[in-house]
Amino acid sequence: MDQFLEYVDKHQNDFVERLRKAVAIPSVSGDPAHRPDVFKMAEWLVEELKSLDAVVETRDLGKQDFHGTELDLPPIVLATVGTDPKKKTILVYGHYDVQPALLEDGWNTDPFTLVEDENNRLIGRGSSDDKGPVLGWMNVVDAHKALGLELPVNIMFCLEGMEESGSEGLDAFIFEEADKYFKDVDAVCISDNYWLGTSKPCLTYGLRGVSYFHMKVKGPAADLHSGVFGGTIHEPMTDLFKVMSKLVDVDGKILVPGIYEHVRALSDEEQKTYDDLSFKMEELHDAVGSKINIHDSIRETLQCRWRNPSLSIHGVEGGFYSPGDKTVIPACVTGKFSIRTVPDMNPKEVSALVVKFCQDEFEKLGSKNKLDVHCTHDGNYWLSSPDHPNYVAAAKAVETVYKVKPDLTREGGSIPVTLSFQDALKKNVLLLPMGRGDDGAHSINEKLDRSNYICGTQLLGAYLYEVSQITL
Ligand SMILES: NCC(=O)N[C@@H](Cc1c[nH]cn1)C(=O)O
Ligand SMILES: [Zn+2]
Ligand SMILES: [Zn+2]
C-alpha cells in the first residue's frame, strides 16, 4: 500500500489534469440542451476506463418523457477491473452528471473550466459532486497499473448519468442485474457525499429520502398585459404564491397535516450519536456564508438535517425573472419544491398528503384557474449501521491516510440508489466521502480542495486494501 500512497502524492498534477478534462464536459442531466454532453461524458469515461485496462460496457436505459418531449436516457457505464475469484469484488457507484451551472448564477469563474485558486481549491461544477470522487477510483486503478501492482480486490464500476435528475431507470436496472452483472459483488462503496465540516473525514451511514413536486397553475391562454387585465382576472402567479406560502413556516416546520405522523421517535441511543461530532456552529456559518441558522445548537441543527423532514421551495418556472420591470401576467406558472424524508416516512403517503393539501388550499382560494400538482420523482431514506466490517475497513483506511478516527455521520441529502443496491444485492453499502462540508455542491463556485482529491484518492485505495483483509 505504501508504494501506492507515495505514487498518488507524486502524481497529483496528472490526476488534477484528469479532473480538468472531466469538468470541461458540461454533463448537466436536468437540461435537455446539455443531454448530448451527458452522452459525451459517458463516452469519455468509457475511453478513460479502457485505457486503464478495464473491461467496459454501456447499458442503454431507454427514453425519458421530459414534459412531453422524448429524450434518450444516458447510459449506465459498467466496468470491471479484475475477476480473480480469490479476491473480493467491490462495487463502486458514482454519477457523471452534474447540477446546472451558469456564470450569471454568481460563479466567479466559468463553471466548466477547472480553476485552482491560491488556496489550492479546485473550482468547477462537478469537482466535488461527483466527478472528483469518480475519478478518485480511476486514479487508484491508474496508480496500480503504472506501478505494475496488483489491485487487492476486483473493482466493479457502475456509473450513471441521471443521478441529479431522479436516477430514472436505474432501480429497475440494478434489480434486473443483481443476479447477473452484480452477482459476485461482496460489498458496495459510494463516494458521493461530504464531510460534516472542513477538517475531519467521516463515514456516513444514513441519508434522507427526497420527494420532488411540481405545482402548475394555469389560466389565461397567453401572457397578458397587467395594465389591461390586472384586477379583472384570477392570476396564476398569485394563486401559486398563496398555496406555496402554506407549505412551510419560517422556522422550517412543514405545515402539511399528517406529514410528521410517521417520523421515528428519537431514542436515547440515537441521542448519543450526536455527542462527539467535530462540528462547530462557525463551520455551518462559513458553509452558508451567513448566520441565518434556525437553531442555536449543533445537536438540534444536525437532527434537523439528518433525522427530521424538511421542505424546500426551489423555484418557479414560467414567471418573469429577468432584470427590468416587465408588466406581465404570466399565463402558466409551475412552482417546484421538495420534501426530504426520514425514517419511517413513506414516499407514496407523503405524496398523497401533499397533493391533497395543495388541492384543498387551492380550492379555498375560489380561483377559476386550474391547478395540477404531482410528485415528479421520489427516493426513499436509507439508514444502516457503522458497525459492519465494511465500515471497520473504511475507518482503518481513514486512520492510515488522515491519522484520525472518522466521524460517523448521517446526511441530509439523498442518494436513492444506496437503498436499491442494499435491497437488490443484499450486501453492505458504505458511504465514503471525499469532499468537505463547504464544497458548495449544487451551489455556485463548487470546489474540491486539492488535498481532499489527492488524500481522497489515497483513502479510496487504502479502503480497498483494508476491505480485502477483512471478513465481510
Ligand atoms: N450528492 C448526492 C446528491 O446531490 N443527491 C441529490 C439527488 C437528487 C434528487 N433529486 C434531485 N437530485 C440530492 O439533491 O440530494
Ligand atoms: Zn452526487
Ligand atoms: Zn448532487
Q: 115-153, pLDDT tens digit by residue? A: 999 999 999 999 999 999 999 999 999 999 999 999 999
> Which ligand is closest to the CA of 166, given by its number?
1
| Dihedral sign computed on CA atoms, order 181, 395, 386, 253 | negative
In this model, does residue 276 exceed pLDDT 90?
A: no
| Per-chain residues with Cβ under 5 A from ion ligand 3 | 129
With vertex at residue 457, the alpha carbon angle to CA 456 and CA 462, rounded to the nearest 5 degrees, is 95
Confidence at residue 69, expressed as pLDDT on a 0 to 100 scale: 92
CA 227 from centroid of its chain's CA atoms: 44
Question: How many beta carbons lie within 10 A of that of residue 252, not counting itself?
Answer: 14
Phi, psi of 264, rounded to the nearest 5 degrees = -60, 140
Q: 320-343, pLDDT tens digit by residue? A: 999 899 999 999 999 999 999 999
Residue type at position 178: A
Ligand 3 centroid distance, CA of 233 (Å): 40
Ligand 2 centroid distance, CA of 415 (Å): 7
Long-range contacts of 177-184 (CB under 8 A, 24+ apart): 178/424, 178/425, 181/78, 181/156, 182/91, 182/156, 182/158, 182/424, 182/425, 184/83, 184/89, 184/154, 184/156
| Catalytic residue ranges | 97, 163
Of ligand 1's atoms, which has the minimum distance to the CA of residue 210?
A: 9
H/E element, 380:
none
Q: What is the ipTM of this complex?
A: 0.95
Q: In the chain, pLDDT over 70 holds for what percent of residues?
A: 100
In this model, does residue 282 exceed pLDDT 90?
A: yes
Strand pairing of 310-317 and 332-341? antiparallel
Fold of 2-207+382-467: Aminopeptidase (3.40.630)
> Which ligand is closest to the CA of 165, given by its number?
1
In this model, does residue 67 exceed pLDDT 90?
A: no
Average pLDDT on 256-282 reads 94
H/E element, 415:
none
> Which ligand is closest to the CA of 130, given by its number?
2
Question: How many beta carbons lie within 10 A of that of residue 329, not counting itself?
Answer: 22
H/E element, 64:
strand 63-66
User: Quick check: 304 and 310 in contact, CB under 8 A?
Assistant: yes
Of ligand 1's atoms, which has the minimum distance to the CA of residue 379?
A: 9
Fold match flag (2-207+382-467 vs 209-263+308-379): no
Judge: domain 209-263+308-379, CATH 3.40.50.300: no
Mutate to test the pocket of ligand 1, among 64, 95, 164, 448 (most ligand atoms within 8 A of CB): 164
Q: Residue of the nearest CA to atom 12 in ligand 1?
A: 164
Around ligand 1, the residues with Cβ closer than 6 Å are 129-130, 164, 166, 192-193, 210, 212, 413-415
Ligand 1 centroid distance, CA of 167 (Å): 9
Ligand 2 centroid distance, CA of 133 (Å): 9
Q: 373-392, pLDDT tens digit by residue? A: 999 999 999 999 999 999 99
In this model, does residue 13 exceed pLDDT 90?
A: yes
Phi, psi of 288, rounded to the nearest 5 degrees = -80, -30
Q: 184-222, pLDDT tens digit by residue? A: 999 999 999 999 999 999 999 999 999 999 999 999 999
Phi, psi of 229, rounded to the nearest 5 degrees = -110, -10
Q: 76-110, pLDDT tens digit by residue? A: 999 999 999 999 999 999 999 999 999 999 999 99
Of ligand 1's atoms, which has the minimum distance to the CA of residue 192?
A: 1
Confidence at residue 166, expressed as pLDDT on a 0 to 100 scale: 85
Helix axes 389-402, 450-469, angle to 10 degrees: 130
Q: What is the maximum alpha-carbon separation in the chain?
A: 78
In this model, does residue 423 exceed pLDDT 90?
A: yes
> What is the Rg, in whole angstroms, of the alpha carbon atoms belonging to the chain?
23
Mutate to test the pocket of ligand 1, among 29, 97, 210, 342 (most ligand atoms within 8 A of CB): 210
Confidence at residue 262, expressed as pLDDT on a 0 to 100 scale: 97
Q: In the chain, pLDDT over 90 holds for what percent of residues?
A: 97
**Cα dihedral value 24, 29, 33, 36, nearest 10:** 60
In this model, does residue 303 exceed pLDDT 90?
A: yes
User: Quick check: 246 and 384 in contact, CB under 8 A?
Assistant: no
Domain chopping of the chain, boundaries: 2-207+382-467, 209-263+308-379
Please list, in sequence order, all residues whose beta carbon lies within 8 angstroms of the beta carbon of residue 54, skipping any fewer than 6 positions away.
Answer: 79, 80, 81, 141, 157
Ligand 3 centroid distance, CA of 99 (Å): 6
Of ligand 1's atoms, which has the minimum distance to the CA of residue 442?
A: 4
